[in-house]
Homo-oligomer: A and B are copies of this chain.
Amino acid sequence: MEQFLQEAKAASRVLNELSGHEKNKILKEMAEALRVQTPKLLEENAKDMADGEKNKLTSALMDRLFLDASRVEGMAVAIEEIAGLKEPVGHVLDGWITEDGLKIEKVSIPIGVIGIIYESRPNVTSDTAALCFKSSNVCVLKGGKEAENSNKAIAKVLQDILEKNKLPRALVSLIPDSSREGVNKLIKMDKYVDLIIPRGGAGLIKHVSENATVSVVKHDKGQCHTYIDKDAKLDNAIAIAINAKVQRPGVCNAMETLLVDRAIAATALPQLKVAFDAAHTQLKGCLETQAIIETAHATDEDYDTEYLANILNIKVVEGVEGAIEHIVRFTSGHSEAIITENISAAESFLNAIDAAAVYVNASTRFTDGGAFGFGAEVGISTNKLHARGPMGIEGLTTYKFKIYGSGQTR
């Protein structure tokens, strides 16, 4: 593992010498090569699918794992879209002349070597490889073991294009030891690896965060709330609440708990109940909620659970202060929303809540690189530092100061 990462680190230097034009040409060749190699990719994917069947993976996991010609085409198109993004390195972020006459430029540069640990979704292999290459980073990939044959085949296609262009295969590679021990080594190799991005289950993310000496950008859970204030337009509020819970319950920006202002609970809750019943949402309410509409009972444990399913907690709170108090206690810092027409209530909420994305009058489902207009998304960071919230390709860059003098000394 150490030698492998040493090679990855060494390879990163050649990326400095590639122009944006060259990188984009290579990315387009990679996309084309995936198309050409579709039969081979499907053949390798079929092996993973057969193993998955044997190992009784859930249908959701099998669906994530599965490739067909249209999904491979989707991977190729995604790479072409990444090629089309604005060059993320060499951007002058700031610049000034100091009192000593030094000209300082703060310039975006690649992070270096990025380790990505992810679930068994083969398209993540090509997406992240392309995002890293576009931003002049080396990636070392550790995909889910269920997708091993698919990932190896995809990586080989990309590496063959690198080699054809006289670049080291080490610019994009799968880690040689993908066991738990291999991962444990990877996350401690701060000498060679500059950033680890873990994607996947809470257990993995916790393990990586607690044990890594390399910097980590987490993509952790979303315990998202929506608060309906007494000054909300109730139609808006119901439409947003339904959207935030129901449109795609299995994702991190879906709502888990709905907070309702006590002042409007008696009128709002029955209407919400009708709407959520129509959407087949399973409701759990606080005692006050249960006094108005029929629901199961919500406990503190429920308020702390990311259901990732069509289940919703409802709690009655005392105005915006009550909402803030509940959210401060249970937020995961992902996305939180207030529905109100009142400026003071909206601003109190937006300022008091410490989350990556705080909304007034919109669904938390918008927390996503595409919806934000970032073009391609590395993920949604739950870190507080470096990259927070939807993480576009500039999240894969850092900066250096270039200082131009003419003989200055202190």
Tell me the minimal C-beta distance from A218 to chain B in angstroms.
10
User: Which among B112, B215, B405 is the interface contact of A359 at CB below 8 angstroms?
Assistant: B405
Q: How far is the CA of A111 from the CA of B354 in the complex (A)?
A: 9
Contact B386 A386 (CB under 8 A): yes
Using CB atoms, name the residue of chain B closest to A403: B359
Contact A389 B360 (CB under 8 A): no
Contact B356 A400 (CB under 8 A): yes
The interface residues of chain A, by DSSP majority, are classed as: mixed
Tell me the minimal C-beta distance from A173 to chain B in angstroms.
20
User: Is A42 at the interface (CB under 8 A from chain B)?
Assistant: no
User: Is A209 at the interface (CB under 8 A from chain B)?
Assistant: yes
Contact B384 A354 (CB under 8 A): no
Contact B361 A404 (CB under 8 A): yes
Give how many A residues have a beta carbon under 8 Å from the other chain's beta carbons.
65
Contact A407 B236 (CB under 8 A): yes
Using CB atoms, name the residue of chain B closest to A409: B243
B residues in contact with A408, CB < 8 Å:
240, 361-363, 366
B residues in contact with A194, CB < 8 Å:
384-385
B residues in contact with A372, CB < 8 Å:
98, 104, 401
Hey, what's the 0/1 contact readout for A32-73 against B, CB within 8 Å counting as 1? 000000000000000000000000000000000000000000
Contact B409 A247 (CB under 8 A): yes
Hey, what's the 0/1 contact readout for A112-142 against B, CB within 8 Å counting as 1? 1000000000000000000000000000000
Contact B350 A402 (CB under 8 A): yes
Using CB atoms, name the residue of chain B closest to A244: B409
User: Is A330 at the interface (CB under 8 A from chain B)?
Assistant: no
**If the complex has contacts A16-B352, A384-B398, A401-B389, are A406 and B361 also in contact, measured as CB distance less than 8 A?**
yes
Q: How far is the CA of A239 from the CA of B409 in the complex (A)?
A: 7
B residues in contact with A410, CB < 8 Å:
243, 247, 363, 365-366, 371
Contact A328 B358 (CB under 8 A): no
